[in-house]
Amino acid sequence: MAATRRARTGTWDRFAASDPGLLRLMAGLRTVGAIALALAVLALLGTDVTHMVAGAMAAMVATFAIKEKEVRGQAVTLACGLPVALVAMSLGALLHARVIAGDVFFVLLIFGAVYGRRFGDRGTALGLIGFQVYFISLFVRATVDALPQLYLTLAVAFACSAVIRFAVVPETPQRTLARLREAFRARLAQLVAAQVELLDATPEDLDKVLDTLRRRTARLHEAALMIQGRLEEGTRDAATAARLQRRVADAEIAAERLGVTLLNARSAERADTITLHLPHAPVQVAEHRMPTEDATTGTLRRDLNALHLLIARPAGDGRGMAVAHVRNRLLGYRDEDKLPPASPAVQDVFRGIGEAARAVLGLRLALDGPQDASDDSPATARSREEFDAEDVAMAGLDEEAEEQAADERTGLRRPTTRAAFQVAVGSTLAIIGGEFLSSQRWYWAVLTCWVVFLNTASTGEIMVKGYRRLVGTVLGVVAGVALAGLVGNHTWLAFGLVLLLIFGMFFTAPLSYALMSFCVTAMLGLLYTLLNTYSLDVLILRIEETALGAACGIIAAVLVLPVHTDRRTDELLGTVLERLRDVVSAAVEQLSGGPAVDLLDKARDL
């Protein structure tokens, strides 16, 4: 039973580490849940398949478009989104038979949706809802006569999205932060496990182990930055947020230093921090150094495994004195007289273990609150006193309001304005070219042009995104052909596969844009099957329209107010150097006797 529980816990830790905060899992479950509930309600109302498809797509849009962190903000945006959706559907139906007027409005809608991003998450969400619902009206060929039924469908879709978002799979900043903290703990444990592998790695395996170490170090920093982004909304007050931020940073630094000391113990030359971040950085291995099995190496391996145990131990695991004994032993390495006899480089590793154990204790105190101190050794008691002193010092710092520098660019130099003109021009080209390919499904080219501009800031990024979308579409067509033949006339089997593909779409979106496009295209094959408009020619047309839309987006990005990749890279490099200057200047000022300041925010910005 205990072995099964450990295996289950280990599996869950690996999954939690791969999806920090379970953000991708929750997004997928929330979207699939909203669609499934909408389909169930529409089926009970006796809605036909066409309107069920529209309802499923509307529920998906109402769920994924809203990105605000606060529950109240999500509710307001969702409430505002329904009128926007109703207007977009109405205009889509009214302009259904007016080709030129419909095309002109579509371009204006696209311009407004992209321009609306300058107004934050709410502006982005409402613009996305307006665009996607108008696209739905084209997809299901909405007419004026069908508007009452479509209004009901949209209302059901938004209501189901609200039920899932606020009742079934609620998303609050506090829940998200709690899951992110768990992911940080899991990733920290994975990093220490990689350091154990580094201790025993042969020279032939060292490069492979180093790659794993670098990857897990980067993933630990990623989780820490995600926690930073949720602290303000996810904690009860500023003091708690500052304390948690400091403890997470301590754990990051201690884990990274431990890795560096292990590299120094293994290397002929002294390693530095950049070795853990720069891929393929050379490491000269000293043949006479570890791994050679002796008493010191055995002790080091035992203590690294003990450190891993302290980190991986779930909160509330009350194994009492055994855990306290391990913690006391590791914290003892912070005292020089407790270090085992060894070379200076190996003694540095033991010091690093002691500092890492201290960071783990601080993280436990910040996350789980006060713990039983009855079994503390003098070294552990000293560490607790240090944390108390740090908390007092942080509370005494002057609280400075963090002001984000407003974007001083105006007019066509503002990113949202520039992108709006680029997408509008690209969409115009896509409409013209798409009409030549198909007068019925030209909107796929427009959708691709729209999508390649999302979350991109330079011509190079747009080209890469367009290429990945095309690759995913081609592979998705192959899957769509196979799935369409599999489902035949089984409506609910098709809807079940659609839900599975939608989950895959949202779960894989942050990992691989090509894989997400694959899921989208395979899902479309099933939707066309449900609408009785499926054919191989339709899926081939999907590839052609996707290629056209990507090409139009690239042309617009190159010719209309272009931001070349080298210019974008220079801007980002300049930002990095400015933030580095801020950190170094503040540190020098503090070391020169200036007032105490918390450098963590500046370091995080860097």
Place 6 in a pLDDT band, splitting at 50, 70 and 90: low
Quick one: which of 91, 90, 93 has its CA closest to 142? 93
State the Cα–Cα distance between residues 560 and 449, nearest whole angstrom: 14
Contact, 444 vs 542, CB < 8 A?
yes
Of the CA atoms within 13 Å of residue 398, those in its CB half-sphere come to 5
Neighbours of 367 (CB within 10 A): 16
- Asked if residue 349 and residue 224 are part of one domain, the reply reads yes
* Domain finish residue from 151, 171, 191: 171
In a domain, 399, yes or no: no
- Asked if residue 382 and residue 442 are part of one domain, the reply reads no
- Asked if residue 107 and residue 57 are part of one domain, the reply reads yes
pLDDT of residue 403: 42
Question: Out of 156-160, 426-430, 462-466, 550-554, which region has the weakest mean confidence (pLDDT)?
Answer: 462-466
Look at 284 and 384; give whichever has higher pLDDT: 384
Question: Out of 44-48, 266-270, 360-364, 543-547, which region has the weakest mean confidence (pLDDT)?
Answer: 266-270
Neighbours of 370 (CB within 10 A): 7
pLDDT digits 0-9 by tens, 116-152: 888 888 999 999 999 999 999 998 889 999 999 999 9
State yes or no: cis peptide before 291, omega within 30 of 0. yes
Look at 52 and 580; give whichever has higher pLDDT: 52
- Asked if residue 465 and residue 361 are part of one domain, the reply reads no
- Asked if residue 370 and residue 272 are part of one domain, the reply reads yes
In a domain, 4, yes or no: no
pLDDT of residue 481: 78
Tokens 């529980």: give the residue.
5
Indicate whether 406 pLDDT > 50: no
- Asked if residue 572 and residue 476 are part of one domain, the reply reads no
- Asked if residue 128 and residue 179 are part of one domain, the reply reads no
Quick one: which of 404, 34, 395 has its CA closest to 240? 395
Indicate whether 290 pLDDT > 80: no
pLDDT of residue 204: 79
* H or E segment to which residue 220 belongs: helix 206-234
- Asked if residue 243 and residue 385 are part of one domain, the reply reads yes
How many domains in the chain?
A: 4
Full DSSP string of 386-404: HHHHHHHHHHHSPP----P
- Asked if residue 576 and residue 554 are part of one domain, the reply reads no
Predicted model pTM:
0.78
pLDDT digits 0-9 by tens, 474-511: 888 888 778 877 877 787 888 888 889 889 888 888 77
- Asked if residue 528 and residue 578 are part of one domain, the reply reads no
- Asked if residue 260 and residue 340 are part of one domain, the reply reads yes
Contact, 341 vs 357, CB < 8 A?
no
- The residues, any chain, with a CB within 8 Å of residue 358's CB and separated by 6 or more, are 250, 254, 331, 334, 383, 386
Domain interval for residue 458:
418-563
* Domain finish residue from 392, 427, 448: 392
In a domain, 408, yes or no: no
State the Cα–Cα distance between residues 146 and 138, nearest whole angstrom: 13
* Domain finish residue from 156, 171, 186: 171
In a domain, 13, yes or no: no
Task: State the average pLDDT over residues 455-462.
Answer: 74
Place 328 in a pLDDT band, splitting at 50, 70 and 90: confident
pLDDT of residue 125: 93
- Asked if residue 552 and residue 515 are part of one domain, the reply reads yes
Indicate whether 587 pLDDT > 70: yes
